[in-house]
């Protein structure tokens, strides 16, 4: 999977292309034909060709084209951002077509479901992950950090009943008591993470995913964000955005 982003340099009225990995020789040749040059300090290719010319030159590459987001100035209180592809779609049908096309270019398998939210556009995107991209309990245990878990640590007691302990109380236990309890906490956390893969949420439950799946998911979310506009202000419970997005996973 390859990925690039195009950013505008307003100071020099030029465009900068940032690749997630070293582009192929064919891509480099196409960029040089557009008189783009490599900037070793900024780690990008730069030149003066417009975005359409760039995308046309790199069309043969399997890439996800994610234009840079722009700032939305609405007087301070309701400032936000607008994805670079935001104005491309005018209906749910168009949005789905654009997203699915970009997912395919990025090598991402996913489905899109529109949710009932009145006049709002609310979607759940389900990304397919391979079984070997899910951490085993042993791998999950090796990566587990109790400080990054919830304030209440859940586990099953000796009778198989669900119970929990506050993190501060856990830290007050002796080292031996923590060592005895920690495997139970990790096991419960792991089972919850596996279950969470199939549960739709705003951010997606990714704790059980390996890095390869996390990398694809990061690209997927950036693609969705490129079609969104968000001028919400959660401090005053004001929500104004074009897409309310949720995510889940399907194990192939």
Distance of CA 11 to the CA centre of its chain: 30
80-82/229-230 β-pairing: antiparallel
Per-residue pLDDT reduced to its tens digit, 156-196: 999 999 999 999 999 999 999 999 999 999 999 999 999 99
Q: Which residues of the chain have pLDDT under 50?
A: 1
β-bridge mates for residue 134, sequence order:
209
Which domains are delineated in the chain? 2-61 (no CATH), 72-129+203-251 (3.30.300), 135-196 (no CATH)
**Which residue from 209, 85, 77 is spatially nearest to 247, judged by alpha carbons?**
209
Answer yes or no: are the C-beta atoms of 160 and 151 closer than 8 Å: no
Residues 6+ apart with CB under 8 A from 27: 58, 61
Give me the percent of the chain exceeding a pLDDT of 90: 62
pLDDT at 64: 62
């Amino acid at each position: 999977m390859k990925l690039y982003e195009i950013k505008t340099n307003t100071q020099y009225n030029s465009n900068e292309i940032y690749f997630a990995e070293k582009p192929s020789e064919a891509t480099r040749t196409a960029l040089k034909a557009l008189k783009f040059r490599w900037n070793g300090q900024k780690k990008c290719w730069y030149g003066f060709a417009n975005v359409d010319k760039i995308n046309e030159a790199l069309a043969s590459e399997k890439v996800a084209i994610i234009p840079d987001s722009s700032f939305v100035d609405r007087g301070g209180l309701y400032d936000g951002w607008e994805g670079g592809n935001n104005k491309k779609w005018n209906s749910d049908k168009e949005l789905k077509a654009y997203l699915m096309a970009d997912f395919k270019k990025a090598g991402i398998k996913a489905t899109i479901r529109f949710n009932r939210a009145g006049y709002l556009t609310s979607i759940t995107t389900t990304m397919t992950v391979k079984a070997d991209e899910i951490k085993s309990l042993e791998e999950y245990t090796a990566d587990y950090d109790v400080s990054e878990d919830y304030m209440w640590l859940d586990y099953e007691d000796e009778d198989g009943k669900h119970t929990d302990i506050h993190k501060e109380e856990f830290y007050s236990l002796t080292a031996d008591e923590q060592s005895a309890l920690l495997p139970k906490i990790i096991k419960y956390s792991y089972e919850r993470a596996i279950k969470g893969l199939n549960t739709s949420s705003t951010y997606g439950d990714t704790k059980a995913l390996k890095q390869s799946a996390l990398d694809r998911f990061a690209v997927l979310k950036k693609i969705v964000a490129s079609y969104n506009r968000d001028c919400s202000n959660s401090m005053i419970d004001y929500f104004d955005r074009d897409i309310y997005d949720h995510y889940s996973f399907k194990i192939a």
